[in-house]
Amino acid sequence: MKTVVVLPTYNEAENLPLMVEQLRALPVVDLHVLVVDDNSPDGTGQLADELRQRYPDFVLAVLHRPGKLGLGTAYIQGFRRALELGADYVIQMDTDFSHPVEAIPRMLEAIASVDVVVGSRYTQGGQLDPSWGWRRRLLSWGANSFVRWRTGLKLQDTTGGFRCYRRRVLEALDFSRVRSDGFAFQFETAYAIQRKGFRFVEVPILFRDRTKGASKMSLRIILEAFWRAWEMKGRY
């Protein structure tokens, strides 16, 4: 079974080489990486090309986009490419080590009996970075609860971006309907998947703050998430 890990990158030059090393070291057969870079000013795109030359059988492809076009479309293009490359399973994760690489074998075990596995901060056993203060915890919990209330999503962690999909799930989704750009993309796709009747399971993860590089989180992305949670149901 072929697994492709889609890594969206924007200014992740400090993180990408180590991510690729850690992924390569996993005890998973036929695991590959696909980088989707938005012409990062810090040269992440060129670095990805160098890694591809170094490990041609492991870094399967690097998608170069002309500029910062957003996380949503980066994933959509990455998913399409992963399917073209023949992936049986597609994993999405951040390139900043917030999502623990070592959880991947557990996720691939779990996918045997479901369609989507979610690396979850809010299921039993899941954890947020211990350094988070109560305000940040409250904001994250509040956003997640709002999404669940407004959309009826059954997932505990609706906004997290660490998932493993079976090929048929991505083939079944109509990505032309997806409008979210920032982390709203995570619950919009979850909602579309739930509506199609696919089965989810959540596996607990410890979410850690990035230690290198800068966050791309912005007020615009947070406001988009609340707006999408509000309007999405009517649109689908």
Ligand X SMILES: Nc1nc2c(ncn2[C@@H]2O[C@H](COP(=O)(O)OP(=O)(O)OP(=O)(O)O)[C@@H](O)[C@H]2O)c(=O)[nH]1
Q: Which residues bind ligand X (CB under 6 A)?
A: 8-10, 12, 36-38, 68-71, 74, 94-96, 98, 183, 210, 215-217
CA distance 57 to 76: 23
User: How near is the Cβ of 31 to ligand X at its closest, in Å?
Assistant: 18
Give DSSP secondary structure letters for 5-29: EEEEESS-TTTHHHHHHHHHTSS-T
User: How near is the Cβ of 17 to ligand X at its closest, in Å?
Assistant: 14
Residue found by looking up tokens 């986009």 in the block: 65
Closest to ligand X by CB, 74 or 143: 74
Which of ligand X, Mg ion, none lies near 217, with the C-beta cut-off 5 to 8 A by kind? ligand X
User: How near is the Cβ of 29 to ligand X at its closest, in Å?
Assistant: 25
Number of CB atoms found within 10 A of residue 167's CB: 19
Beta-bridged to residue 166, according to DSSP, are 89
Closest to ligand X by CB, 199 or 211: 211
Closest to ligand X by CB, 70 or 126: 70
* Residues at the contact surface with Mg ion, assessed by CB under 5 A: 94, 96, 98
Secondary structure letter of residue 177 according to DSSP: G
End-to-end CA distance of the chain: 33
Closest to Mg ion by CB, 96 or 157: 96
CB closest to ligand X, residue no? 215
- Contact call for residues 118 and 161 (beta carbons, < 8 A): no
Which of Mg ion, ligand X, none lies near 9, with the C-beta cut-off 5 to 8 A by kind? ligand X
Secondary structure letter of residue 197 according to DSSP: T
User: How near is the Cβ of 207 to Mg ion at its closest, in Å?
Assistant: 9
H/E stretch holding 166 reads strand 163-166
User: How near is the Cβ of 38 to ligand X at its closest, in Å?
Assistant: 4
| Of the candidates 171, 76, 47, 166, the residue with the CA atom closest to the CA atom of residue 118 | 166
Give DSSP secondary structure letters for 60-103: EEEEE-SS---HHHHHHHHHHHHHHTT-SEEEE--SSSSS-GGG
Closest to Mg ion by CB, 96 or 224: 96
User: How near is the Cβ of 154 to ligand X at its closest, in Å?
Assistant: 23
Closest to Mg ion by CB, 23 or 111: 23
Which of Mg ion, ligand X, none lies near 74, with the C-beta cut-off 5 to 8 A by kind? ligand X
